[in-house]
Structure 1
Amino acid sequence: MNRRIRDRLMTADEAVKWVRPGKRVVASGFLHQPSRVLRALQALVDDGQLPPEPLTPFRNSFPRRSFTRKGPDVAILHAAAIFSDGFVPALAVEESPWLAANAHEIILEWNVNWPSSLIGVHDIYADTVVDDAHIVPLCQPADRIGTPYIPLDWTKVVGVVKVDDDLSFVSPIEESANESRMANHLHEFLLSELRKGLLPIDMPPIHAACTGETGAILRALTQSGQQRIALFTDIIDEVALDLLQSESLSVASGSTLAVTQATAGDLSRTLKQSENRLILRPRQTITAPDVLRRLGIISINTAQEVDLYGRAHLQSDRWDSANTGQDFARQSRLSIVLLPPAPPEAGVSRVVPRVAQADLSEREVDVIVSEHGIADLRGISAAKRAERIISGWAREPQQPDLAAMVFANRRK
């Protein structure tokens, strides 16, 4: 064992003593968290030694720029392996590289149960510059532009907590029963775009938000003849992993790998089979505007509802995919929104006069796909958009009222 690691080994209870009242504490990950240290931290809160909320969840909604001038005081990071100059961040990279570079003090929780085949899966481009004008030199989804580990300044590491806890996995996402017709419509549309020359012969990389509908669509697309698709997304789920092993996907590049218990037993073998075709990167790299525009991705999101002019309220899941879905859609070559049917017992329509929350504006939605067909909203007026959406998907009892609203708005 490296001397730097050995000198800093301690228990979780000893490590959390570095967290004092008033310090800003940030933990990495949301699927694979440093759970042992977090439990010890919660014990201090329960005993009244720390304020009720000493921990800041670091996710998409958290403003990274609030730490631009002064990084977090303490970062608690999860590690699958530790080297003399860095560590491997298990299956979730997320914002860990930025935290490791900018935190004043670092506590590492090292779970030795992660398979050694994880080493080499990551591509960490250590971009510590908080500047949207910074260029990330990634030109293809399979390119590697960084290191297989997160660089680490050992002078900031105050403790290493070595654990052998059971690995945490996610429950499977239930696939929609309506994916077959939606997949057929989408596949026919993409083939039509290829024939018209509006898409390159080699299908551009696809971003698919991690929901039941998009997972099923991705499976159906690869099975229906569109082989060797490249996936460039935030969260790689079990569907994508299966397609990667069957070589229906040429490469899957993301920030997090969401593995279920069913796959956990063969995780080591799965990682070896997907060697060089499964790449985990920091979220800063995955969602960089210049990278998404350069790759010319096709973004596929799932909407909870759309309004008369094509604005979409995205379907959020337990992994908060709506937030990153906006990043991909806004920089995509083609922004596609899936609109699954509402449950019959709900008695409501997915088409509403105005969405409660416009995650994507009408300028950020190109095509809407439902079980009834395709609505291509590119290059048409707002009134034409409304007519196309109402005639295609609004429930019949609602159509006259919605059409009257459109007519009234046109007269104003």
Structure 2
Amino acid sequence: MATTDRIQNSYLRSKVMSADDAASLIKSGDTVGMSGFTGSGYPKALPQALAGQIEAAHKAGDPFKIGLWTGASTGPELDGALAKADAIKYRLPYNSDPIEREKINRGEMEYFDLHLSHVAPMVWEGFFGNLDVAVIEVTGVKEDGSLIPATSIGNNKTWIDCADKVILEVNDWHDERMEGMHDIYYGTALPPNRVPIPMVHANDRIGQRTLRCDPHKVVGIIKTDLPDKNAPFPPLDDVSKTIAGHLMEFLKWEVQKGRLTNKLLPLQSGVGNVANAVLAGLRDSPFHDLMAYTEVIQDGMMDLIDDGKMLCASSTAFGMSDKAAIRFREKLDFYRDKIILRPQEISNHPEVIRRLGTISMNGMIEADIFGNINSTHVMGSRIMNGIGGSGDFTRNAYLSCFVSPSIAKKGDISTIVPHVSHADHITQDVQVIVTEQGLADLRGLSPKRRAELIIANCSHPDYKPQLEDYYERAKKNALGLHTPMLPSEALSWHQRFLEKKTMRA
């Protein structure tokens, strides 16, 4: 079907223009909220046109920059193009683009990293200032002016509601049969007017199928036919499979103890190779009739749906490989009633996560011997991506699990350290840590018992003696014995790596 047929509102059809003309509506100093969550549902034509215009402005001596808000990370045509053009002054809430990362770490771009569930309410509260323009990719525009979302929802509802002006990209690449997968809830409010979110099961639908949009806020529409671009997943390696195996055995133990059934509880999984290995492990497990309540649907969840292992997956976006995206389009009628896409303020809402009792499984950069987790910073100073939704789920999950190989950089970095160089998740929130070496169930353990278990079960053999030595000396020389710590040595492993390129003593 031609893209023009997807704009059913006659008034909005008159707003169709080129990407260059639409980009010219954005001015230097504007704050722009763009759609996109992972490499899904992000505008592709306008950001590239805007980047070109900003590069030309810079050559003419105009220090043109914008503030950029999104749902999370996006694709290269958005974050990559604008970062390369040095177009971004301020960025929130999550980023994975390598050019942006370098600019942030060089101090050339301001970056605000926050929990994804906090973004929408904080925008409504006005803490970040005015939102000048929303740029939203959609699948189509209905006759009443409402919008059929694309492959992510993210913060689109909030951007459209709060922005002074709206620019749409109607992307013909998205399959129109997606209509009906989306569940847009308009019942949130700020205190003191908040009311409970009416959801008690992961597959409950509580909203409407389309996004509301005042047609008179729309100042331009761009027609595109451009694919989403998600980073491909590497083949599952033995380390990832071993980590997944430890976690499967743990879940079986929880069933044996009567704390779970073979249906488990709604699953949340972070993005990445280990996460997909865990999902792959579920395919051959005794668990069945599974549900997912998460923020990104990856290949592994689609495999579980295909196998009949998973009944429904609720999220705010897809994070599919190219191969899985083709499969999704081929079997879209099959997936339509098994996948629900929601705004991220609902997919990541602490109230709903706590009520459903999710099992959260997220990656980490490092953990210390007491169970603090660093999800965001390398050596304490360099941002990697951001906290994303891991905090939303970790503190509110029924079970909070963190997974990672025990070493990195070919063994020169230990994932288990005396003290994390940056703390995103504190010991009170972290229940289970898993590496390929083993699993540590930290529930109910004092700090000393946690340290002993993490060192014994999760650390790599190359670093275990160093950790044992540090811990034994800390017990003798620390100020107190509740959480034995040597402040002068707590970050010495990171300092050693900075000086010698290895944490080995």
1:17 CA displacement: 3.1
User: Structure 2 counterpart of 1:249, which letter?
Assistant: M
Contact 1:390–1:403 under 8 Å retained in 2: no
> 2:168 maps to which residue?
108
> 2:153 maps to which residue?
93
- Counterparts of 2:267 and 2:166, CA distance in 1: 36
**Aligned partner of 2:125 among 68, 73, 79:** 68
Contact 1:169–1:258 under 8 Å retained in 2: no
Deviation larger for 196-205 or 225-234? 196-205
Please tell me whether residue 400 in structure 1 is matched to residue 453 in structure 2: no
Contact 1:205–1:296 under 8 Å retained in 2: yes
Contact 2:434–2:458 under 8 Å retained in 1: no
User: Structure 2 counterpart of 1:404, which letter?
Assistant: R
1:51 CA displacement: 4.2
Deviation larger for 49-58 or 118-127? 49-58
CA separation of 1:179/1:266 partners in 2, compared to 1, >3 Å: closer, same or farther?
Answer: closer
1:252 CA displacement: 0.8
Please tell me whether residue 222 in structure 1 is matched to residue 283 in structure 2: yes
> 1:37 maps to which residue?
46
Contact 1:12–1:36 under 8 Å retained in 2: yes
SS of the residue corresponding to residue 258 of structure 2 reads: coil
- Counterparts of 1:181 and 1:368, CA distance in 2: 14
1:66 CA displacement: 4.8
**Aligned partner of 1:8 among 3, 8, 15:** 15
Deviations 1:344-374 (A, max 9, x none): 8323322111101111100011112222332
1:247 CA displacement: 1.5
CA separation of 1:72/1:375 partners in 2, compared to 1, >3 Å: closer, same or farther?
Answer: same
User: Structure 1 counterpart of 2:171, which letter?
Assistant: N
- TM-score, normalising length: structure 1: 0.92
User: Structure 2 counterpart of 1:360, which letter?
Assistant: H
1:76 CA displacement: 0.8
Deviations 1:22-71 (A, max 9, x none): 43222221423212111222222122287432241324336552553464
SS of the residue corresponding to residue 278 of structure 2 reads: helix
**Aligned partner of 1:126 among 152, 176, 186:** 186
Contact 1:309–1:386 under 8 Å retained in 2: yes
Deviation larger for 390-399 or 83-92? 390-399
TM alignment of 1:6-405, pairs within 5 A: 6-30=13-37, 31=39, 32-48=41-57, 51-58=63-70, 59=72, 60=93, 61=113, 64=120, 65-66=122-123, 68-69=125-126, 71-83=130-142, 84-127=144-187, 129-131=189-191, 133-164=194-225, 166-174=226-234, 175-200=236-261, 202-314=263-375, 320=385, 322-343=387-408, 345-394=410-459, 395-398=463-466, 399-405=468-474
User: Structure 1 counterpart of 2:27, which letter?
Assistant: R
SS of the residue corresponding to residue 369 of structure 1 reads: strand
Gaps in structure 2 of 5+ consecutive residues: 1-7, 73-92, 94-112, 485-505
Deviations 1:132-174 (A, max 9, x none): 954221211111111111111112111111223x312213222
Contact 2:262–2:287 under 8 Å retained in 1: no
SS of the residue corresponding to residue 8 of structure 1 reads: coil
- Counterparts of 1:385 and 1:407, CA distance in 2: 18
- TM-score, normalising length: structure 2: 0.76
SS of the residue corresponding to residue 265 of structure 1 reads: helix
SS of the residue corresponding to residue 57 of structure 2 reads: coil
Contact 1:77–1:109 under 8 Å retained in 2: yes
1:299 CA displacement: 0.8
- Counterparts of 1:264 and 1:379, CA distance in 2: 42
1:123 CA displacement: 0.9
> 2:84 maps to which residue?
none
1:402 CA displacement: 3.0
1:130 CA displacement: 4.4
- Counterparts of 2:277 and 2:286, CA distance in 1: 15
Identity %: 28
- Counterparts of 2:42 and 2:409, CA distance in 1: 39
- Counterparts of 1:2 and 1:319, CA distance in 2: 43
Number of residue pairs matched by the alignment: 411
CA separation of 1:130/1:269 partners in 2, compared to 1, >3 Å: closer, same or farther?
Answer: farther
CA separation of 1:90/1:363 partners in 2, compared to 1, >3 Å: closer, same or farther?
Answer: same
- Counterparts of 1:348 and 1:296, CA distance in 2: 34
- Counterparts of 1:207 and 1:117, CA distance in 2: 26
Deviation larger for 30-39 or 282-291? 30-39
User: Structure 2 counterpart of 1:337, which letter?
Assistant: F
1:403 CA displacement: 2.7
User: Structure 2 counterpart of 1:330, which letter?
Assistant: R
CA separation of 1:80/1:288 partners in 2, compared to 1, >3 Å: closer, same or farther?
Answer: same
- Counterparts of 1:224 and 1:33, CA distance in 2: 35
- Counterparts of 1:51 and 1:270, CA distance in 2: 48
Contact 2:153–2:317 under 8 Å retained in 1: yes
- Counterparts of 1:348 and 1:46, CA distance in 2: 39
> 2:495 maps to which residue?
none
1:19 CA displacement: 2.0
- Counterparts of 2:377 and 2:342, CA distance in 1: 22
User: Structure 1 counterpart of 2:227, which letter?
Assistant: L
Gaps in structure 1 of 5+ consecutive residues: none
- Counterparts of 1:233 and 1:27, CA distance in 2: 21
Deviation larger for 137-146 or 262-271? 262-271
Contact 2:377–2:422 under 8 Å retained in 1: no
